[in-house]
Each structure stands twice: as structure tokens, then as C-alpha cells.
Structure 1
Amino acid sequence: MAAPLGRRPYSEAGVSGGGGGHVARQYAVGQQENSLQPPARRSGDAQLHGLGPRHWAVLSVLAEHGVLHTGQVTTLLFGSRPAAARHLGALARAGLVWRFVHDDDPRHVAYYELSAAGAQALTARLREAGRAVPVALGRPGRGEFVVNEFFVGLAAHAGKDPRCQLFRWRRALEAAALLREHGVAEVRPSAYGVWIEGGRAVRFVLHVEHTAGAGALSGLAAPPQADVLLGGYRRAPRGVPVAAVLVLCPSVEREIEVRRGVAAAPLPVTVGTATLDRLFDASSAAEAIWAVTGAEGLRRLAEVGR
């Protein structure tokens, strides 16, 4: 199946298995501004007049997920792509979000992220409502592009199939905190979730591997490779509070290495692996893209850990 528009708009410094050159974000900026840098905004420069509940809902979703393209916002909040584009455009004109494309994307898929003014406005709104302000509000997470494709794909799948539900989802910081509460340290998951399909439920943590150059996208150092960080699960004193550890690998060769490592030193939990190409070529991560050590063929997400 061909990947839909926006599924694979860039190589993310080799994250799709390619060589991985420099990838720059090209922002929509005004005169005298550098398109490679987010537009400069002064405190209080945002225009909040005329914003409705749906605009704030979009802003909150962007703050939660870091970066989303128009199609992803459509899937999560709208039934209409033009409606999503109108709301995103209004937020960009108000100075609450930054719009950018990747310079190696021939389709010019538009991505949006919370601006500094947007973070200030949303923080003030949450405090006025007596609600807690999330930690690292609007800050990009490690591997966020792949994690968001994973999440939105499952959300879209659940929206089309009444037998399915993404029952719970936590981002990297919350996932790590959850594991530490259960005595699982030394691991850096990209996300945590509970997927239900046809009465089956699988609780999982997700790890996204990157090639060495991928960290340059976010300015963060590349995380340890899976065979190193998975050791934390082996040393968990009270067991692992999930049914499966999912690892997304940048290449088939790397996936083979991870599977060999798990076979040589088994974990107290099922490990499912997939390549990024398999993820992007499937309709969602719920499909049969997962290889499990010691099992034949590929499994659906709901079958991993059983």
C-alpha cells in the first residue's frame, strides 16, 4: 500500500533507512527574518480576539504532540481538511503557532508547532481555568515525527473500526515516570499505550530507534540503541508492567540485530520489532507489521504479547 500524503514527507536524517543528509525546517516568516529559524515574537504579540473553543482545542493538541501536519490535525479533530487548514491558518496569523515545511519534501507538507506566544497564551488559559500546566508544554519530544505517525495512525484506525480503541496514551516523560513507579529504570521509552482490538488488549511501551545523525533534527543527542536500553527491563526488580515492548528500527539490518540480541538475552516481556518502512507502508501500527522473537511471521499489534 502506498503511504498516504504526509506519512513519509522527509528522510529525518536517515530515519527511513536512507543515507540521511541535512534536513532543514523552512518556516513561513516575514521580511528581515531567517526562514530556517522560527519567527521572532515579542511577549504579548499574539492576537487572541476572535478565537473560539475549536481554535483552543487545536492549540492544545499541538501543545500535547509537539508537531503535527494538517492531515494529522484533520484526523484528530476535524472531519474536513479545509476546516482544519482554516483553523490552523487562523492560529498562525494570530502568532500562536509556527508553520514550516521540510526542505527535502517535494510535496511541501505543512507542519505546525506551538510558538512561544502560543505556549504563553495556553499556559495563562489553563491557569485561569484552575488546570495544571503540562510539563514541557509544547516542547518537541525525541522522535516526535515517528511517534505522532504511530499515534495518529492508531487513532484513525480506531475511528474506522468500532472493535478498536486506543484506550490510553502517554508521551515520553509520562511513560518513563510510569515505568519508574514500577521500579523499571534506565529506560527511555518514546510512548506508552493500551490498544484494544476485538476484546483483546495489549499494554505496550514504544521505543523509536534513530541513526546517529537523526538527533540533529531536534538538537538532542541520539538515544542509546535498543539493545543497550532494553537492559533496564531485564533488571526490573518487580517485573515489567506492560505486555510488550515495541521497537521501531530504521532498517531491516538493525531489526535483525535487535532480534538477535533479544534471543541471546531474553527479556521478562515480549519484544515486538518493526522497521519504519513497514510502519509507513501500513495503514497503521495495528496491522500485521510486528515480528516477535521465536514466532513465525508478522503479528498484528493486538497479538503481540500473547
Structure 2
Amino acid sequence: MKVRPKVKRMVGLTGTPSSNGLMDLWAEFRILDMGERLGRFIGQYRETYFKPDKRNGAIVYSYKPLAFAEDAIYEKISDITVSMKSEDYLDMPVLITNELIVHLSEKEREVYETLRKELVVSIKDKEIDAINAAALSNKLLQMASGAVYDEDKNFIQVHDRKLDALEDLIEGANGKPVLVAYWFKHDLERIKNRFDVRELKTSKDIKDWNEGNISVGLIHPQSAGHGLNLQAGGSTLIWFSLTWSLELYQQTNARIYRQGQNETVVIHHIIAKGTIDENVIKALNKKNVGQEELLEAVKARLEKGDL
């Protein structure tokens, strides 16, 4: 910020301006206009447009926008903001999204529900516990995927429902290359143990994928979320396990759904029924709606010739 006043012209580019909600916008515009539109301090921005949401006594964990906040913020930033969505200006392929629901057995669901309600459960003589809400969310997401780590960082198998579903999807691709996104290391290990797959980690891996030499490629959203061009190698992406991050989710999808893709893109989500998976996909869709509203608001002004 010390250097910013010396910069005469600055342009900020992002594909995910508010991936986790309106709170994200403050930092971006603080750099662009040095606080002219949304305030110089994050505290001032919060007090003006938000109210406490989740809290524990005096400690506030999250905030939610006031009723007028969305329109007011869009109006504040509209004079220096332009939205140009790729599908509006480029010849983009058809995009199909799909949710494949898997069902836990009665015994598997009992294990899941015990951890959710009691914060502790015994699996194969190992005790799995969660010390707080964040840890519980993480453990439940692991269980939904099929395994969970114990205190020694060894994973314990809970079910194979998602692996079975993944097998069906791979077979259903009829030999076409498939890209699989995973979140936990035990997802990676279990997938590797069952299928002939290859991680996309090096430039050689990416080259081989784009040349069609890899049938099933594995990517992690944190390492493959930005900058990779994978559209030449395939058009099917399977989310084996999900992430709460809309930014990583959208950027991972954009590795194959981008300019230069010549095939219909199909994005599958393997969702464990009645688990936290359903909360995650709902949250991603909700965050996306909020971001789309922002993009549409500034795009509308552009179309009217106001910018």
C-alpha cells in the first residue's frame, strides 16, 4: 500500500471477484482506489454494510450483509467495474453439470451420525473425535468421501460408495479421458489403489494429458486451480470430493471449460446423500448466485452505455 499512491494507473483482473461473498470486495477495491468507494478500513466497511452472523459471545465468526448492502455496494463500485463473461464474447462449448447421488448403508450412516452428534466415534478400535465445529466439518467431509484420518494421521476406511460411483462414471465415459478432482490425500491413495490413474503434477503430465495419452487424470484444486490449460485432453471432470472454496471450484472447472474446448463439457459431482456433501454443493451454488448478481449488475451498466 506504500507504493500504491505512486502508481498512476491500475487495472485489477479477476475471474472470481466475490468468491466467498461481498466481504471479499473490500480488499480488491482498497488497492484500486485506495479506499475511496468502500472505505479505507475493513472495520468501517463491515460496520456500514454488514451485521454479525455466527458468534460465540463477543467473538464474531462471520458476518452477513444488511438488506440494502448489495445494491449499495454495486452502486459504489459500478463506475470503475466492468464485467465481461467469456460465454458472452467467446464461442464456448455446451456445459452440462450433474450430481450423482450415492447412499451410505445403515451401518455407515450410523457411524457418520454418531460423529456428527457426539463429536466422537469409534471405528475399527480407533477413536475419531472433533474438538470444534471446523474440525467436525472436516471430519464429516472426509467420511462422506469414504475414509477419515485418526490422531496418528493414518486413514480408516469407512465406505467405498464414491469409488463405486467413480468406476461407473469412468466406464460410462467409454474410453474418453476423464479428469478427477479430489480434496483429501486418502482420496488420492484410495483412487490410486483401485484404478489405473496418473496425477497431473509436472509439465510432462500436463503435456501427456493434452495429447490424449492419459485415460484418467487426477488433480487437486489447490494445485490445478489457476493457469492450467487442460481443455485439449478431455471434456469430462468428476468431483470425487468437494471444496468449500468457490474460487478453487470455479477455477478447477475452468481448466477444461474454456476457450479452445471443442467438445461438450460434462462436470459430475459425486454426492453422498444425507451428508455434509449436500451442504457444500448448496453453499457453492449460493455463493455463485451472489457472484453472478455482481457480474450481472456491472454488465448491465456496460450494456446501457454508462461506462
TM-score interval for Structure 1 and Structure 2 normalised by the shorter chain: under 0.3
The structure with more helix, counted as a fraction of residues: 2
Calculate the TM-score normalised by the size of structure 2. Answer: 0.27
Q: Which has the higher contact order (CA 8 A, sep 6+)?
A: 2
Calculate the TM-score normalised by the size of structure 1. Answer: 0.27
Instruction: Please say which structure displays the higher CA radius of gyration.
Output: 2
